[in-house]
Structure 1
Amino acid sequence: MPPAAAPTTARRAAALVRAAHAPPAFAVTAFAGAYAAGAAGADAARAVLVAAAVLAGQLSVGWSNDWIDAHRDLAVGRADKPVVTGAVTVALLRRSALIALVACAALSLALGPAAALLHLALVGAAWAYNARLKSTVWSWLPYAVAFGGLPSVATLGVPGGTALAPWWVAAGGALLGVGAHLANVLPDLEDDAATGVRGLPHRLGRRRTALGAAAVLLVAVVVVVLGPPGAPGAVQLAGLGVATALAVSAAAVAQARPASRWPFGAAMAVAAVAVVLLVVSG
């Protein structure tokens, strides 16, 4: 059999986008920009700068994840990973991650020293997850820190900004991060376990992880709905109702059919509700 053709530039670029874990990376970026423009009161240029800094950080995290995990992904034949299919090399992932990290530092510094220090600490927590913490019982902690702290990057990043995000925004974000971690690991539990990854979800098992993801994400929505001063509005109450229905269905399916993908999908939908409510209520 002849050797596989070298990937074209277009194929390599598309593979790099996939290796960056594009959907969550762009979702986090969109949230940061929207929160900066809405709740933090940033003008359009500053909101774009916040989004650019966050995007660079997310790209560095995604590429470092696939770079550091390349040997594990190759061992279990993860066909969804570009490094396994040969579309990108480990060296390209490493180089891309480091370049994105440098860009993240430069863009973060343009937001001011307080925002830069916080954002780089959050990105560092995500790199620590990739490098070590994902295989420990503390695998949830970087998610709690990063998601809880991200809104304050926006509030500190506006000109003259000195205030952190409100407590309920930080708490809701931290819970959202933990729930997203539990849900995100669900599809890969077996592959992870086969290569020695033993984070909190792997110790809990599929059923308890699915139940925990739904519960934690629902609590995140409750905090975002009830945390702001004053009575919740119609949008907040509607979001809470939708999130409750999704969480209950995820829990029921997780109990009856642990191998089903519905708990993962429902948990992601609850996370989306929480993100929308954070932007609307922030």
Structure 2
Amino acid sequence: MALVRASHPEPTVVVTAVAVGLALSTGRDGSGVVAVAVAVLSGQLSVGWLNDYLDADRDRLAGRKDKPVVACGVSRRALALATLSAALVCVPASLASGTVAGAVHLVAVASAWVYNAGVKSTPLSVLPYALSFGLLPTFVVLGLPGAPAPPWWLPVAGALLGAGAHFTNVLPDLTADAATGVHGLPHRLGAVGSRTAAATLLLTASVILAVTAPVEPLVAAGVPVLATAVLATGFLLGRAAGSHASFRAVLVVALLDLVLLVTAGHTIVA
């Protein structure tokens, strides 16, 4: 869901695109799709800017040139105003999908804020990711006419994807984060443990979606097999010094899972 860094716009775009894709595949009308897009994008931005605001001093100390406070000299005041502005947009945009659906999305965003506020430095750092990503597809479905209850596999798969995303997202910054006092679960497990955790969580999501989501049999059978092959190859190649193959393999499997999740969307209200 949220929990992405404003200085790295790609995850923000991907999460928003997935939410929009799910909204389209579940049959949201034009105004509903726009409401989802604005709500998710503003929520993502609020979390990313809050992260940059809270980590400003830490980023300067670490010389993080990929962060706005270091690369562009953005002030903490500007980040605070940007965070507040995005949050103010997120509230009505979320509630435009209905009171219940909107409340679910706002809880997801609040979970991401809690992560930034300190949980990311604890052994429980994975929990906000799991909660926020599990609630995201729930929000999209609950905003449909009649507010249908989402099938159990939808939030479960979302939570597994979110947990896997946590370990994947932190991998490139393990050393820099640890040097500035961030000691979440991935930092405690280390690079190998985090890659293994990410692969296990994402592969489990692949299997659950393939077995329970009503998708084409060929797709259902092919995705877990392909995911396993990609992970096995990535981890084998990743044993070489300086290789990023295992990290890229995890990203590929995450993308496969997201495609499968969106593909199954049209069956939810069928």
| Pairwise same-fold verdict (TM > 0.5) | yes
Contact 1:20 1:61 in 2 (8 A): no
Q: Distance in 1 between matches of 2:150 and 2:9?
A: 26
Query: RMSD across aligned C-alpha pairs, in angstroms?
Result: 1.7
Q: Which runs of 5+ in 2 are unaligned?
A: 266-270
Deviation at 1:249, TM superposition (A): 2.3
Match of 1:252 among 206, 225, 236: 236
Q: Is 1:199 the counterpart of 2:190 in the alignment?
A: no
Query: One-letter code of the match for 1:242?
Result: L
Name the residue aligned to 2:205.
220
Match of 2:218 among 211, 234, 237: 234
Secondary structure (helix, strand or coil) at the match of 1:244 reads helix
Match of 1:23 among 10, 19, 44: 10
Deviation at 1:170, TM superposition (A): 1.1
Q: Deviations over 1:123-168 (max 9, x none)?
A: 000000111110000100011001111111111112331x332111
Deviation at 1:20, TM superposition (A): 5.3
Q: Deviations over 1:234-280 (max 9, x none)?
A: 223332232111211233345x2475322221111111100000011
Q: Which runs of 5+ in 1 are unaligned?
A: 1-17
Query: One-letter code of the match for 1:243?
Result: A
Contact 2:168 2:247 in 1 (8 A): yes
Q: Distance in 2 between matches of 1:204 and 1:168?
A: 28
Name the residue aligned to 1:243.
227
Q: Distance in 1 between matches of 2:242 and 2:53?
A: 29
Secondary structure (helix, strand or coil) at the match of 2:74 reads coil
Q: Is 1:166 the counterpart of 2:151 in the alignment?
A: yes
TM-score normalised by length of structure 2: 0.91
Q: Find the structure with the greater CA-based Rg.
A: 1
Name the residue aligned to 1:68.
54
Deviation at 1:281, TM superposition (A): 1.6
Pick closer, same or farther for the CA change 1:30–1:138 going to 2, 3 Å.
same
Q: Distance in 1 between matches of 2:80 and 2:233?
A: 40
Pick closer, same or farther for the CA change 1:147–1:21 going to 2, 3 Å.
same
Contact 1:214 1:251 in 2 (8 A): no
Q: Is 1:181 the counterpart of 2:187 in the alignment?
A: no
Q: Distance in 2 between matches of 1:20 and 1:33?
A: 22
Q: Which moved more, 1:191-200 or 1:81-90?
A: 81-90
Name the residue aligned to 1:43.
29
Q: Is 1:106 the counterpart of 2:92 in the alignment?
A: yes
Query: One-letter code of the match for 2:205?
Result: A
How many residues are matched?
A: 261
Q: Distance in 1 between matches of 2:139 and 2:241?
A: 38
Name the residue aligned to 1:147.
133
Match of 2:107 among 112, 115, 121: 121
Deviation at 1:44, TM superposition (A): 2.0
Q: Distance in 1 between matches of 2:125 and 2:113?
A: 12
Match of 1:274 among 254, 257, 262: 257
Q: Is 1:84 the counterpart of 2:95 in the alignment?
A: no
Contact 1:148 1:172 in 2 (8 A): yes
Contact 2:237 2:243 in 1 (8 A): yes
Deviation at 1:37, TM superposition (A): 1.7
Name the residue aligned to 1:15.
none
